[in-house]
Amino acid sequence: MSKRPTENHSPVPEGTLVVIGGKENKGAEAPENKKKPSDFIKLEVLQAFKESSHKRDPMIEVITTASSEGPESFEDYKKVFGKIGVTRIGHIHHEKRQEILEDEMLERVKNADAFFFSGGDQLLLTAIYGGTSFLTSLKQRYITEPIVIGGTSAGAMALSTPMIYAGNEEVQELGGQIKVAMGLEFLKDVCIDTHFVHRGRFVRMAQVVITNPTSIGIGIEEDTCILVKKGKEMQVLGTGLVVIIEGFKIAEANIREFADDKPITARNLTVHLLSDGNTYMIPQINPPHK
């Protein structure tokens, strides 16, 4: 029987990731787009983000660069973080890459306890911040200090590599129609997808895993998050499902026909369905990634 590849011993991050599937509860009496479950807790996901800093009033930098409505998005999060006792909130937003090249904001990166990437267009985050001193310093702090990096919707998808940036439900079953790029790489060999159950994104995530079997797919439903500690210890929190897709045991797939606009086929995908409180160990199996 095929076994999971041997684990690779990589540096262990001191920081925590809080990766949110979108539409996290901001104080309403029920989650959006779904029936209220019996274990619903108002503001649960954002409260978990705050508590991961282990500070009563952490300094949070909200990064709205992915959003076309940066000021409005920031005011929204400023208000909701205020509900849970956060009084120190900064706003980071860039329209052009030149702006971050001219002002790397290294002091702000150094002084914050947590960073939160809002939703919008994940490709803006990678295009503007990829390869910058800003991102490098953020990663270095994540590796060496107990800070918190969070993201929701597009801001969550950008935290991983590979990163989906195009391909909706109309084309997801056709080979080669899902577009991926390098994300910000806080999680390597992991592809994050959000709004996962509500928007029916299972097949598009499966296509990414089929074409990148070293990577796992993590699909996160709305008002749901994963907490990732030490780069691999994952716990689910919130009202929805997290779907894990592994391709380590794929024995057959129609990769040679991916350019023919035909539906994908694959055998021996492994799928896990996880809900609030469930845990999972993210594989660390790719030796070049140190």
Burial of 109-122, coded b for 16+ CB within 10 Å and e otherwise, reads beebbbbbbbbbbb
Residue 1, domain member (yes or no): no
CB neighbours of 203 closer than 8 A, spacing ≥ 6? 172, 173, 264
Residue 117, domain member (yes or no): yes
Domain of 224? 16-25+39-281
Q: What is the pTM of this model?
A: 0.93
257 vs 24, which has greater pLDDT? Answer: 24
Residue 251, domain member (yes or no): yes
Residue-wise pLDDT tens digits, 245-262: 999 999 998 888 877 778
Residue 66, domain member (yes or no): yes
Residue 30, domain member (yes or no): no
Tokens (6 digits) for 231? 């780069």
Number of folded domains in the chain?
1
* Rounded CA separation 203/169 (Å): 8
Residue 9, domain member (yes or no): no
Residue-wise pLDDT tens digits, 174-225: 767 778 899 999 999 999 999 999 988 998 999 999 999 999 999 999 999 9
**68: CATH:** 3.40.50.880
* Rounded CA separation 77/267 (Å): 43
Residue 72, domain member (yes or no): yes
